Structures are given as structure tokens and as C-alpha cells.
Amino acid sequence: MTNCPFDITPYTQSQNIETPNIFNLNYTNQEFWSLKSRLVDFIKQEYSTEFSDFVESSLAIMLIENWAFLADTLSFKMDQIANEVFVDTVTEIENMFRLAKLVGFQPQPPIAAKSLWTASLNNQILTDIVIPTPFDLSVNAGNQSITIELFPADADNNPILDQDIIIPAGNIVNASVVGLEGKTRSVETSGTGAVAQTINLSQSPVIFDSIRVSVDGVKWTRVDFFTDSQPRREYRVEFDSNYNAYVIFGNNRAGLIPSKGSKILVLYRQGGGNIGNIVSGTITSQTIINVPGLNYGVPVGFRNYTKGQFGYDGDTIEDIRAKMPAWARAQNRCVTGLDYKTITDQFATPYQGQIGKSTVVLRNHGCSGNIVDIYVLALNGPDKLTLAGEELKVQLEENLNNLKMLTDHICIRNGNVVLVDVSVDVILDRFYRKFEEELRIQIERRINSFFSLQKWDYNQNLRDNDLIKALSDIKEVKNYEITFVTNDSNNGGSNVTTRFYEIIRPDVINIAFTYE
């Protein structure tokens, strides 16, 4: 990545495949009034000489309406079932997970927010201060109490889960401490000797890549599939729609079966989500640590010197709806630019965050036909993007190297966010002054939907007419006057343009009302 030139001229750029939006399937196309009308017409046609009392108050009409109601109910149920078997129209998250399982797609589980901490003493101590891990801190985040667990950090600021935090003798500060939102849980059970023994981890949601399994003290390895038919110490993990996790063992042909009576220990972490994205320097705590050889406890203070970031609530039904068709087209290999984009967009790590948006560029030089430039930005909160860390890009490159064509050379680079201040002047009749708050909520909801990250990509321009179109269904408003402001004085007003490595995100949104 360090040898990638800065200035390139793109020959072509990855583009999403646009498919028509299907909101609802009217599978049977039947409803009460049409059914009633058809029943009446049928009786008139078939029994015209035997029956002619079609007055609304008659007993016959009452029976016809009952039949029409039953048929309407059955029709609605059939329509509902038909909608639940298609990705575009499914409405229940549990059914979406079933569809994902059919094609082998794995929705992204919750990710714990990570922050860096200091552990400090008031005075030097001539012996090591050992702080057992995980060390729990109860923290108030908004109106909710959360738990942050502290672990020692390695050189890449990843947590070392099986070591204690140590303040070396003679030092007063250890700044290599990482905090992870969530709480460690454990399940102890015995092997049954049965094929495909399954252990339910009932404390949900289970955090992404936090499960560790040992059998009789020996660690086993997690795999996505038992594909090579080898009896190894391996296990799989599946999630349900509530992100409860299930640990599944093999059958002695594909994955070993834990022997009957063996001791199985499962450690995992519960939590995850945006709620762990705390503000830098806002949390301080102190505890007393007992030190062998001393007759008194030593006070140790903790403070977060970075913000919490990368917390993710887990894929919603809309996330899966957007990701799964693209994943199925890529087929877990990188051949086209869209394949690279799909795999990159869905790449996530447990401690270094996940990719929020990417674009793939082919250079406009004959000798560079095998060089793939990938511009990335990391996801950091709902619809927010930030620069990707070096470790995230390194892990992404390692993943892509396993999926790319042999002759391709990958350059991973930072994309650029164009922050836009949006000013919306709403012009309406003075009669609606008393409804200002309700109208403000409606406008804010539509603006947030308009700028939803799923709807934006690199090299996509912003026009005031597009935003006005998104607001046009609010009938009370006479007119909108919209202005955009960016850091570039030449790029704003009614139109904001971007280059191939830039993506627009809203910064400050101001809504003002003018009454006439």
C-alpha cells in the first residue's frame, strides 16, 4: 500500500447494479369488494330464475359478505406468505435470516466499540501491580448503563484476552490498555458423544468473533464450514435473528465430536452496538488492587484517552436486503471491479472496525491493467464514515489476496469525505405555524432518509432538486430554498460535485421556517 502512487486517472470505476425496487407482491390480487361483486354476478348468472333478492339488508347478501370476508382473509394471508419468500419484499427479520441461510450468507453480528485507556497510580510502587482481566467498569451511556471490559493491548491495540493488565514496578502509568464494550459470559457443559452436538449461547446479542471454545482444556478452532471432510478440532457458529449464537460440532468425518463426558468450556462476549461509542476523556474510575507483600490496597485509576469507536448493532433487515444479492453475485471471489467492491464493503474485523464504503478503480494506463485501486472509508456509527486505520487496511488486503486473481495487484487507499452543511428554508402558509414541530420532524426524517449511507456512493453529486424531490410529498409546504456549503468555496450553492474517490456526507443540517 505504501508503494501506491497518489495521482491516477481512472479508466473505469466499479458501479452498483441497479435493480427495480419491489415493495409488495399482490400475489392473488383479490380483495373484499371485488370478491363480493363477483359472487353477486355469479349468482345472478347461474341462479337468475331461483333467486333475485340482492337488497343489502337481505340474508343472502349477509352470507355473500361473509364468504367474501373469508376469501379476502385467505387472499391476504397468501399474499403475505408470498412476500416473505423474496428478499425484496420480506418484512420479518426471522424470515430474512432463513433466506440468508438458504444461500449461505452470514449477516454481520454486533461489534463491540473499542477505546484506549490508561491505568495509573498516584505513586511509584516497587512491585508489579497486576490487574486481573477482564476488569469490568460500569458506565452510563445516555440513559443506559453499559459495561466496558479492560484488557492489555498488543502492538496493534488489539486486546490480549488471556493476560492480565500489569503496571510494571517503578512505573505509574500503563497506557497499553484497551476497553471493549460488553461483558464476558461462559457456558460449561459436557460432551454427549452425539453427532453435531449444539450448544446454545442464550445471553444475546453475542458479539462478533468473541466465541472461544475449549474441550478438556484444549482450544478448538472456529471454521465457517466443515468442507474438507477431516476430523479436526473444529466447530461452527450460527446466529439467529436475535443474534443468539449456537456452537455446532462435527460428526467425526467433517469435524470431531467431543467425546462423551468431556468438559466443554465456551467463553463469549455479550453486548455490542453504537451505544459503546463513548466520548474521549469522559470516563474516570478508581479501584483498589491488593498487592502481595503489601499490607494495604493500592488505588488504581482508569481513564479513556480515546473515544469509543467501531461499535455496530448488527445487520438489520434492510442491511441484509442490500448485502445479500451483491454477495451472491460475487460468489466469494474477486474477478470484476464490482466483486472487489462487494467483498470490501462487507469486510469487518472484531477490533479494528469495518468498511463503510469502498470504490474500485482501474487505471487508464496500458501497463497498469492489473493494478486495482481500492478507496475505502471505515464505518463509525450510523451513516458516519471515517478514515480507515492501517491495521484495518492490512487485514482487508490479506483477505482480498486470498480471493483475487493471481495477476491482480491491489492498492488500498483512503477515500475522502466531502462534508456538506445543508440549509433548508421552508416556505409555507402562516396557518401551519402551529404545526411547525410536526413538520420539522417530517422534514428531518426525509432528509435523513435522503442521506442514508446505503443511497450514496463515491463520485455521486448532490443537487438541490434531488433533495426537493425527496421532500415533495409534504403537501403543506409551498416551496423550499436549499443551500449547500462545503470547505471549498467553489463547490456549493445548489450543487456539490465530487471526484471518483470522494463521497458526500451531511455535516450540519439547519431547517428554518418562513411564513407568508
In the predicted structure, residue 372 carries a pLDDT above the cut 80: yes
Q: Which residue has the higher pLDDT, 12 or 439?
A: 439
pLDDT in tens, 162-175: 999 999 998 999 99
Nine-digit cell at 417?
469525505
Q: What is the pLDDT of residue 6?
A: 47
pLDDT in tens, 421-477: 999 999 999 999 999 999 999 999 999 999 999 999 999 999 999 999 999 999 999
Q: What is the pLDDT of residue 480?
A: 94
Beta bridge partners of 150: 135, 179
pLDDT in tens, 187-221: 999 999 999 999 999 899 999 999 999 999 999 99
Percent of the chain with pLDDT over 90: 70
* pTM assigned to the model: 0.85
Strand (E) or helix (H) holding 391? helix 390-401
Nearest to 243 by CA among 283, 271, 284, 218: 271
Chain mean position to CA 56: 55
Which residue type sits at 463? Answer: R
Q: What is the pLDDT of residue 96?
A: 96
- Label residue 7 by pLDDT band (50, 70, 90): low
In the predicted structure, residue 118 carries a pLDDT above the cut 60: yes
Please state at what angle helix 337-345 crosses helix 317-330, rounded to 10 degrees.
140
State the sign of the Cα–Cα–Cα–Cα dihedral 495, 499, 504, 510: negative
Q: Lowest-confidence range among 90-99, 228-237, 427-436?
A: 228-237
State the sign of the Cα–Cα–Cα–Cα dihedral 273, 274, 280, 283: negative
- Label residue 144 by pLDDT band (50, 70, 90): confident
- Label residue 4 by pLDDT band (50, 70, 90): low
pLDDT in tens, 270-326: 999 999 999 999 899 999 998 887 778 899 999 999 999 999 999 999 999 999 999
Q: What is the pLDDT of residue 64?
A: 87
Sheet holding 297-304, edge to edge: 135-141, 144-152, 173-181, 114-121, 297-304, 284-290
In the predicted structure, residue 508 carries a pLDDT above the cut 80: yes
Which residue type sits at 213? Answer: V
Q: Could you please report the per-residue DSSP string of 263-330?
A: EEEEEEEE--SGGG-PPTT--EEEEEEE-TT-SSEEEEEEEE-S--B--B----HHHHHHHHHHHHHH
Which residue type sits at 390? Answer: E
What is the number of other CB atoms lying within 10 angstroms of the CB of residue 93?
16
Task: Tell me the pairing of strands 165-167 and 129-131.
Answer: antiparallel
Percent of the chain with pLDDT over 70: 95
In the predicted structure, residue 512 carries a pLDDT above the cut 90: yes
Q: What is the residue-averaged pLDDT of the chain?
A: 90
pLDDT, mean of residues 335-356: 95
Q: Which residues contact 145 (CB under 8 A, 6 or more apart)?
A: 138, 139
The Cα-based distances of 444 to 85, 280, 510 in angstroms read: 33, 28, 10
b/e map of 181-190 (b: 16 or more CB within 10 Å)?
Answer: bbbbbebeee
pLDDT, mean of residues 361-374: 82
Which residue type sits at 182? Answer: G
pLDDT, mean of residues 71-100: 89
Cell 488492587 belongs to: 289
pLDDT in tens, 35-81: 888 888 888 888 888 888 888 888 888 888 888 888 888 888 888 88
Q: Which residues contact 228 (CB under 8 A, 6 or more apart)?
A: 254
